[in-house]
Amino acid sequence: MAEVDRPARRAGRPRTTVLTRDLIAHAALRLLDESGADGFTMARLAQALRVRPSALYNHVEGKEDVIAAVRELVSDRIDVDAFADEPWDAAMLAWARSYRVAFAAHPPTIALLATLPLTGALRTMRMYDTVVAAMVRAGWPEQEVLPTIVAVESFILGSALDAIAPADMFDPAGAEAEVPAFASAYRARARSLGNAPPADAAFEIGLRALLDGLRDRHARLHAESS
Amino acid sequence: MAEVDRPARRAGRPRTTVLTRDLIAHAALRLLDESGADGFTMARLAQALRVRPSALYNHVEGKEDVIAAVRELVSDRIDVDAFADEPWDAAMLAWARSYRVAFAAHPPTIALLATLPLTGALRTMRMYDTVVAAMVRAGWPEQEVLPTIVAVESFILGSALDAIAPADMFDPAGAEAEVPAFASAYRARARSLGNAPPADAAFEIGLRALLDGLRDRHARLHAESS
DNA sequence: ACCTGAACACCGTTCAAGT
DNA sequence: ACCTGAACACCGTTCAAGT
């Protein structure tokens, strides 16, 4: 019964291309979005592509490689253009928000991609190159640029992870007496946010504080050198 | 041969206790440290405890539950005492560093634990209660306290994830011409850091900026209300 | 070059049987 | 109450056979 709508392809090279690394990556992202990280197996991925699992290994090195390909797909949506014509701090704000949005668009991938080290792909290095160049132009000491970018990225990734946590995870219901200050702050936050996602509020507060702090430092460095 | 040093226990309840949730958690943390997240399987965990895998299920609900128990173990090392007698900002600095150290002590667990939502355990809520109470005492508006704490935590977790990435992941070797600004900043960072871990520099720069920004905000809120 | 099909060495989890 | 042992339904990956 399940066999009926499976491909009736015989062994041997197909006359027309059925798989490429890019097709696999797109199918993987779709599968991830639809069935979550747990449902993401090579077998299911092959099924979605109407192919046997072993066929995938002609185009990717393994599951890790598929995930790396998905990461490239997601990372491509990060917009770095603001660094071309906006001041470094405004550009960084825009970049950080775009970065977070790119991941937030595919919640099940976040844990998978955050966990995996960023690939050393040329595309990724080009993104860094744009950001680095703008910061150096703005007068940041060169040896501080990379740590500063990494710090902002760490905050973004951590916030993305926080965003996929269940919203009511820390509902202190039943333990109010044990943790009164926490319970009260929990209620105060709920009142002030309404239906807005708590993770968004934390991200905006943190991002603004981080950039305020970086602006302070930038100003201090500038004051010394003049 | 491998059978020789396996337990020769017959079926049936053992006369003396061989397993508890706590014993399992400690063995799991040790196994994780020794063989990494990939080598962490229920079978290997059972082997370390000289027990059959199915025996574990009398004490934990499954693999996820084991990971939750490990998280509790790691989280217990986070020191929140500074909030008792230091100003909120100094205490937060100390808390953040202790938080990061607790995870850094067990690198292979970071990806596993960061991915999993924090358990709503009472112990965790008590930690939050301490931090919240200190911040409210310091004059922070109650509805902002939780988002602010979550922002700091996001940064810490993101930084911990960054710390386990391979150090040379972004070595632009061979692509210097393509990404000159990035390659130059990469070299400048290497010169200024020597053998110090790049992740530590990023963490300290980010943490200070974040807290400078939060201090700004705290001062601004205070100025308005007086 | 690139597919199928069979095979391998594992997984996590359930549950009856046993003490 | 809590262990063993057998079983189930999967995993990711390799590789010969086939076109």
Residue B66, φ and ψ in degrees, nearest 5:
-60, -45
**Which residue shows structure tokens 């704490």?**
B149
pTM, two decimal places: 0.94
Query: What's the 3-state SS for B56-119?
Result: HCCCCCCHHHHHHHHHHHHHCCCCCCHHHHCCHHHHHHHHHHHHHHHHHCCHHHHHHHHHCCCC
Q: What is the CA radius of gyration of chain A?
A: 23
Best probe of the B interface among A83, A161, A176, by most B CBs < 10 A, is A161
How many Å apart are CA A190 and CA B226, to the nearest integer? 27
What does the pLDDT profile of chain B (226 residues) look like in tens digits?
333 345 568 888 898 888 999 999 999 999 999 999 999 999 999 999 999 999 999 999 999 999 999 999 999 999 999 999 999 999 999 999 999 999 999 999 998 888 776 676 788 899 999 999 999 999 999 999 999 999 999 999 999 999 988 877 788 888 899 999 999 999 999 999 999 999 999 999 999 999 999 999 999 998 866 5
Whether B57 has its CB under 8 Å from any CB of chain A: the answer is no
| Nucleotides in chain D with any atom closer than 7 Å to protein CB | 1-6, 10-19
End-to-end CA distance of chain B: 78
**Which amino acid appears at position B131 of this protein?**
V
Angle in degrees, 0-180, between the axes of helices B107-115 and A107-115, rounded to the nearest 10:
170
Around B45, how many Cα atoms within 13 Å sit in the side-chain half-sphere? 29
CB-nearest to B170 from A125, A147, A169 is A125
DSSP letter string over B128-156?
Answer: HHHHHHHHHHTT--HHHHHHHHHHHHHHH
CB-nearest to B158 from A157, A178, A202 is A157
Cβ-contact B6, B51 below 8 angstroms: no
How do residues A85-134 score in pLDDT, each as one tens digit? 999 999 999 999 999 999 999 999 998 888 776 676 788 899 999 999 99
Name the DSSP letter for residue B162: H
Measured CA distances, A26 to A68, A71, A100 (Å): 12, 11, 20
How many Å apart are CA A150 and CA B114, to the nearest integer? 18
